[in-house]
Amino acid sequence: MNYKYQPKDYNELMKNIENEIYNIQGTPNNPNWEADLNCIDTSQINRMFGVFSILYNNFNGDISRWNVEKVVGFDKMFENSEFDGDIGAWKNKYLRKQFETKRKFIYLITQTFPHNFSTYVFFRNNNLPVYYDSTKNVIILKKDENNIFEFKEFIKLPAKIQTFETLSMAIKYSDDFNFTYKKIVQSVDSKYFTKMEVNDIYFLLGKINELDKKELKIFKDSLKTMMDKTISLKDRTKILAYYNIMAKNIDSLAKYKEILEIKDYKIKKVLKIFLFKEVLKNKK
């Protein structure tokens, strides 16, 4: 990814955010609070204290691709913030340690992270002991037998689903969280996913029958057409460089995620045929 900014510290980061919201994507008199800030390379930032809590608490744009792996302090990052975006793809190697050693981490959690399902996804994917309690309709964070914390803040979908991690987990656990097909489709950011790609994930997770009747028919007709398609030798040769995706020892969903990241539409389409044929063959 080509970045416009590569801040080395917290102060530089704040200046870059200000420039995009007030000068590039907005103006001083009309700041763009829905700006796409993924143009900022945050890989060197180790502190996110209050980034969107005071000066930018109106921000509700896109930071779904931020690299927060080196961040050791998220405290109050979204305190009093209107942010309702997707952080499900974020990775952080210190999160578990912060949870275990920083006493204030758990008490500041609702001020530190967005109040939506993507925070739950972020926690799960970064090894926090978190789970959903359907009897209470709450997210549980369990430190030990004497420290069990309940949160209702993280059980609704983000305003826009922008990451594969949040989308696939929302579909996988749709029954538990009462996320209907309609609700998920309406939440998906079309900048990142088409409706057909959403339907593909339903299929790969074995939940294709949750589609409404019209969409289910369209998907089945499309699947039949795809399965009947003969892949030419020319196409097979063209995708040879990408075929290692199919050879990887990972599940079909992980392969599909890698296929979606390929820019060439034709290669993506042919690899999808290979994948779906493999999935259907294994289901027999």
Residue 22 CB burial class (10 angstroms; 0-12, 13-18, ≥19) = middle
Does residue 246 belong to any structural domain of this protein?
A: yes
Residues 14 and 122 in one domain: yes
Whether 14 and 137 map to the same domain: the answer is yes
- Same domain for 126 and 22? yes
Range(s) of the domain holding residue 66: 10-151
- For 96-138, write each residue's pLDDT tens digit: 999 988 888 888 899 999 999 999 999 999 999 999 999 999 9
Whether 156 is covered by a domain: the verdict is no
Residues 98 and 213 occupy one common structural domain: no
pLDDT at 67 over 70: yes
Last residue of a domain, one of 151, 184, 218: 151
Q: Which long-range contacts (CB under 8 A, 24 or more apart) does 101-104 make?
A: 104/75
pLDDT tens for residues 34-46?
Answer: 999 999 999 999 9
Same domain as 220, residue 93: no
* Number of domains into which the chain is organized: 2
What is 202-255 written as a DSSP string? HHHTT-GGGS-HHHHHHHHHHHHHHHHPPPPHHHHHHTGGGTHHHHSSS-HHHH
- Is the pLDDT assigned to residue 65 strictly greater than 90? yes
Is residue 173, in this structure, part of any structural domain at all?
no
Q: How would you classify residue 2: left for phi > 0, otherwise alpha for psi between -120 and 50, otherwise beta?
A: beta
Q: Which residues share a beta bridge with 148? A: 142
Q: Is 65 helix (H, G, I), strand (E, B) or coil?
A: coil
The verdict on pTM exceeding 0.85 is yes
Q: What are phi and psi of 167, to 5 degrees?
A: -65, -50
- Looking at 118, 151, 184, which one is the last position of a domain? 151
The β-bridge partners of 274 are none
* Whether residue 52 sits in one domain with residue 130: yes
Angle at 213 between CA 212 and CA 218, to 5 degrees: 100
